Amino acid sequence: MHKNLKKTLTELVFDNRFTHCLPADPLLTNRRRQVKNACFSWVDPADSSNPELIALSHEMLNALDLDPETLDSQHFLQVFAGNQLLPGMQPYAMCYGGHQFGHWAGQLGDGRAIILGDVINNERQRWSLQLKGAGPTPYSRTADGYAVLRSSIREFLCSEAMFHLGVPTTRALSLVLSGEKVVRDMFYDGHPEYEPAAIVCRVAPSFTRFGNFQILTAQNDIENLTRLVDYTIQTDYPHLGPPDKQVYLEWFREICTRTADMVVHWMRVGFVHGVMNTDNMSILGLTIDYGPYGWLENYDPDWTPNTTDANGRRYRFSNQSQIAQWNLLQLAEAIYPLINETTPLELALQHYNNYYQQQWQAMMATKLGFAHSSSEIEMLAKGLLKLLESIETDMTLFYRALASFDLPETDFEDNELLQSIFAKVWYQPEQVDASYLDQLKAWLIQYRKICTSLALSEADRVQQMNSVNPKYVLRNYLAQQAIDKAGQGDYTMVQELLEVLRRPYDEQPEKEIFAAKRPEWARHRAGCSMLSCSS
């Protein structure tokens, strides 16, 4: 078949290797329960009474080889609302456990996510289709399995925004309003309300998480643990070769590497995941589960977007690399029965730490326009972060402002000029006193000195900086404005944000409003500053 040939829905090729190779929950009733000796449970999506397609990723449609004309059909809407199954679809929910906020939570599982099957596209790529918010499963615990429109908009937009930022991530194909109403207490403060429900079709090569392995080890089900690890290596890491003890170690080391790469990207763009539980850690090093996430507005290393984490700040921006390593340690303990040696697993975890530090330093150098890091550049970068933290400074806008002026020709002694260059990045201009300006000047002079010593041209510096420092990110206040409008039946801002975020590094002069720093009215407003884990 020609690789560019587009398909109709019924022409999609499903593989479903996960359910063919791994043990299923023998019970077919869709009731909440503890599941033993199984990797998944069969379950069908619930019906949507009045579905409406709100948004769609054309890039993801193309990756699935689907003909754009498919969008105009009721068939597409009914499938991705959960009302119809395509030939080859065999829906199921995964069983997994996990550590939540550092404590073992036991069985968790896909409580509101149902995988429809794995599509193999014309390039032989595997894409698993998952409906989030499609109704209850055996893993729903005390919840109803549905997702509200506000969280679904945030998940859809962020999945695609992260992809275009170059961050490893799960993707999103479609966002569908289901027609149902569900009750949610957004901040767990005794004020529940009815909200519209929605369904996101999430897409990834695999949705397997650290917790998939943890639950089997916790149940002492080493036979199925081995089967799952072997399946994962054969399917998602085939380049490692046939599974054996040495390959298990190489596999774990590669997971460490991929996880480090993912977190470095988070730090590069100022993203805070907010809920880095082990059940939210992808075995492929992808950002997964967009719940109470956020982007740094003012540079605050201790900031977390999660109200549940407000006291301990376990998942704050500056702690993400350490938490990732802690989570990898939990995965190491889960696969230990296949290794039965501590030292090689410890060496892989040390590799994570060393590799992360190297990549972080290299990333910080690129944010300043340098091709490589050095001890001098490392000190420069650390000095900048202290400067950014000293007053409320918008991280995203600062790096773009730094690339916007002629470094060799700028007179750093001209306070009015500096104020004009950086005024839009400061949240509280009254904090900009003489002491701060002296520190900023000293840093800029050192920055220029290093650029000059390396013979770094202005064109190269600006090109490098603007290729890794985005101008447009999904700021929480923008997402909340889109959510507010959607609540009134107006989805135009969802579409507009999706379009802007497709080109986050471009200037897009007509869209400057979406690059503005957080307005003061949004500083403490619900949905614009911090969010809960509530769907």
Environment class of 218 (CB within 10 Å of its CB; exposed 0-12, middle 13-18, buried 19+): middle
pLDDT tens by residue, the chain, 535 residues: 445 689 999 999 999 999 999 999 999 999 999 999 999 999 999 999 999 999 999 999 999 999 999 888 899 999 999 999 999 999 999 999 999 999 999 999 999 999 999 999 999 999 999 999 999 999 998 888 999 999 999 999 999 999 999 999 999 999 999 999 999 877 666 778 899 999 999 999 999 999 999 999 999 999 999 999 999 999 999 999 999 999 999 999 999 999 999 999 999 999 999 999 999 999 999 999 999 999 999 999 999 999 999 899 999 999 999 999 999 999 999 999 999 999 999 999 999 999 999 999 999 999 999 999 999 999 999 999 999 999 999 999 999 999 999 999 999 999 999 999 999 999 999 999 999 999 999 999 999 999 999 999 999 999 999 999 999 999 999 999 999 999 999 999 999 999 999 999 999 999 999 999 999 999 988 888 778 765 4
**93-105 per-residue burial string, b: 16 or more CB within 10 A, e: under 16:** bbbbbbbbeeeee
Tokens (6 digits) for 133:
């918010």
Rg over CA atoms, the chain: 24
Where are the strands (E) in 321-428, listed by range? none
Is residue 528 classed as helix, strand or coil in its secondary structure? coil
| Residue of 237, 201, 258, 282 whose CA lies nearest to 126 | 237
Where are the strands (E) in 23-125, listed by range? 40-42, 52-56, 92-94, 97-100, 103-107, 113-120
* pLDDT at residue 4, as a whole number: 61
Q: Report d(CA 379, CA 444) in Å as an integer.
A: 13
Cα–Cα distance list, 29 to 16, 21, 43, 112, 383 (Å): 21, 22, 8, 16, 59
* Per-residue pLDDT reduced to its tens digit, 42-72: 999 999 999 999 999 999 999 999 999 988 8
DSSP class of residue 281?
B
| Residue of 230, 289, 285, 291 whose CA lies nearest to 257 | 285
DSSP class of residue 407?
T
Residues involved in catalysis: 279
* pLDDT at residue 535, as a whole number: 44
Environment class of 60 (CB within 10 Å of its CB; exposed 0-12, middle 13-18, buried 19+): buried
Q: Report d(CA 21, CA 40) in Å as an integer.
A: 11
Q: Report d(CA 139, CA 326) in Å as an integer.
A: 25
Tokens (6 digits) for 451:
């650029």
Instruction: State the pTM of this model.
Output: 0.96
Residues with Cβ within 8 Å of residue 190, at least 6 apart in sequence: none
